[in-house]
Amino acid sequence: MSMATTTVQPVERENYLNKHYGVGSWLFTTDHKRIALLYLISITFFFFIGGFFALLIRLELLTPAGDLVQADTYNKLFTMHGQVMIFFFLIPSIPAVLGNFLVPMMVGAKDLAFPRINLLSWYLYIIAGIMMLHCMLTGGVDTGWTFYTPFSTAFSNTKVIEAGLAIFVSGFSSILTGLNFVVTIHRMRAPGMTWSRLPLFIWAHYATSIIQILGTPVIAITLVLVVAERALHLGIFDPKLGGDPLLFQHLFWFYSHPAVYIMILPSMGVVTEIIACFSRKRIFGYTFVALSSIAIAVFGFLVWAHHMFVAGISVYAALVFSLLSYAVAVPSAVKVFNWTATLYKGSIHYDAPMLYAFGFLGLFTMGGLTGLFLSALGVDVHVHDTYFVIAHFHYIMVGGALMGYLGGMHFWWPKISGKLYPEGWARLAALIVFIGFNLTFFPQFILGYLGMPRRYYQYPPEFQVLNVLSTAGATVLAVGYLLPMIYFLWSMRYGKPAPDNPWNAAGLEWKTSSPPPTFNFDEEPVVTWEAYNYDELDAQTNKEEVPVAR
């Protein structure tokens, strides 16, 4: 406990950032914190590439006519936007950056169970990224991120094989991260860190890892089949040769629906940590929040065919999948209600991470509720493949996953970098992101409901007003994303040194120095307290009258 109150020392102590210098000390590191930073740089790079494609899409849709790009180019733009954002940004975002950095520290370990495999997973990601970049620079791919057969295997004239192999390789990076987390959470917990004392961030990552481990191999083998079929002209998915294109869709969505939970579950974990800290309260219904993560992972595997309601599956199958899709809403709602109940009578602080968490709460709820529209068989037939679907999943993936990621980056930035970010700018950026996001995607709900289909580069003139609003919102959103990158970089050089625990937060990661030493803790932690003991923390702080940097 006494470590939590240590003030900043004048001489910088040895930590994971300054222990070794030079490119080699980074490229061959096995320190989970350094690998997290390698991931941070790489996924930020791909985020801006994916964002660049989004920008071109929104620019094209500014006017009803197809004027900026032609149909072929537009097909490539939305395909590569989706593939880059999903496989190279969202899937690795929170697990590979914040998870990598925090999972060992939160359970009180010196490192992940397999540090070299952790580094290998980053190299796999980089190899996949280079393959994807090469694919994009030499012509790109136009199948949609879903690779639907037989278009992808028999008709498309673009680089399907290369994109497929890139995503195949990136999948193994994701599998290895998940494997590492599960073993670490099972076998590397510090003495006294029981399952019921684990931060809910850990439970969320545990559930995520299960999906990564069990789901990703299926997309891998599916892509092997697609690549083999395209390269060797086999007939596995091609109806002309006796194959079954619906089989492809089943196999594809068996991974790609749970993949949504790979993106959102870690974000839920981040938001749980933030809400508890900035309400200064124990999380309401710890067990329910923990088990709802597992429930989402389990149910998530049983709902894939709701992407195929209009693809020709049997009515009875569709009924069951519709019902199961409703069932996923239950554990998700449990989380939302428990977060709200945690806020109730809490001592709420409106710092930047909390603003992102509030944004998450509202946007995720919107995304979740519109998901229920889509799991209803009748409504889905009407809005299938329209902008309603686009708006729905962006509310989950951008409004949910990305808000959580940004909130988490702000919350743990003092720990990661050892510097404080400028709070005023951060609150402004959070506000800009929230406004820009809603301006971009809310009009798309209306567009979709009015019948504007997705994946078209031109549209009837009556849709223009809403599309202009959406493009304007995307511009605002871009400012909101550039700001944090600028002030995070600024703070690394000019920011005030961060104390060990600037938020006076619970959790083992705050009981070591900022930035932490290479092996995380100077002495092995022994846990004797329950998770989120904010009542005890605050009682102690008031007694000792320690100033809290806020």
Binding site for other proteins (CB under 8 A): 29-31, 109-115, 117, 175, 179-180, 182-183, 186-188, 213-218, 220-222, 224-225, 228-229, 232-236, 241-244, 247, 251, 518-519, 524
Nearer to other proteins by Cβ, of 219 and 426: the residue is 219
CB of 241 to other proteins, least distance (A): 6
Peptide bond between residue 461 and the one before it cis (omega within 30 degrees of 0): no
Q: Which is nearer to other proteins, 61 or 210 (CB)?
A: 210
Prior bond of 515 cis (ω within 30°): yes
Closest distance to other proteins from the beta carbon of 28 (Å): 10
CB of 113 to other proteins, least distance (A): 4
DSSP 8-state code for residue 235 = -
Q: How far is the CB of 112 from other proteins (least distance, A)?
A: 8
- CB nearer to other proteins: pick between 238 and 351: 238
**Which CB, 221 or 317, lies closer to other proteins?**
221
**Shortest Cβ 102–other proteins spacing (Å):** 16
- Give me the least distance between CB of 256 and other proteins, in Å please: 13
Q: How far is the CB of 513 from other proteins (least distance, A)?
A: 17
Which of left, alpha, beta for 548 (phi over 0: left; psi -120 to 50: alpha)?
beta
- Judged by beta carbon, residue 26 or residue 326, the one nearer other proteins is 26
Q: Confirm if 370 and 445 have CB atoms less than 8 A apart.
A: yes
Q: Which is nearer to other proteins, 449 or 519 (CB)?
A: 519
Q: At its nearest, how many Å lie between other proteins and the CB of residue 447?
A: 36
Which is closer to other proteins, CB of 216 or CB of 471?
216
For other proteins, which is the closer residue by CB, 214 or 333? Answer: 214
Question: Looking at beta carbons, which pairs linking 368-373 to residues 24 or more positions away fall under 8 Å?
Answer: 368/329, 368/332, 368/333, 368/336, 368/396, 370/395, 370/445, 371/325, 371/329, 371/396, 372/325, 372/326, 372/329
Per-residue burial over 141-156, b if 16 or more Cβ lie within 10 Å, else e, is bbbbbbbbbbebbbeb
Task: Identify whether the C-beta of residue 433 lies closer than 8 Å to the C-beta of residue 482.
Answer: no
Q: How many CB atoms lie within 10 A of CB 116?
A: 10
Torsion of CA 398, 403, 406, 412, to 10 degrees: -140
Q: Which residues of 382-393 are buried (b: 16+ CB within 10 A; e: fewer)?
A: ebbebbbbbbbb
Q: From CA 461, how far away is CA 440, in angstroms rounded?
A: 19
**Nearest-approach distance from CB 187 to other proteins, in angstroms:** 4
Pick between residue 311 and residue 546 the one whose CB is nearest to other proteins: 311
Shortest distance (Å) from residue 189 CB to other proteins: 10
Nearer to other proteins, 166 or 175 (CB): 175
Looking at the Cβ atoms of 265 and 498, the one nearer to other proteins is 265
Least distance (Å) between residue 40 CB and other proteins: 20
How long, in residues, is the chain? 550
Neighbours of 99 (CB within 10 A): 31
Number of C-beta neighbours around residue 549 at 10 A: 15
User: Do 421 and 428 meet the contact criterion of CB atoms below 8 Å apart?
Assistant: no
Q: For residue 262, give both structure tokens.
A: 């790979």
Residue 419: strand, helix, or coil: strand
Of 362, 377, 364, 386, the residue nearest 446 (C-alpha): 386
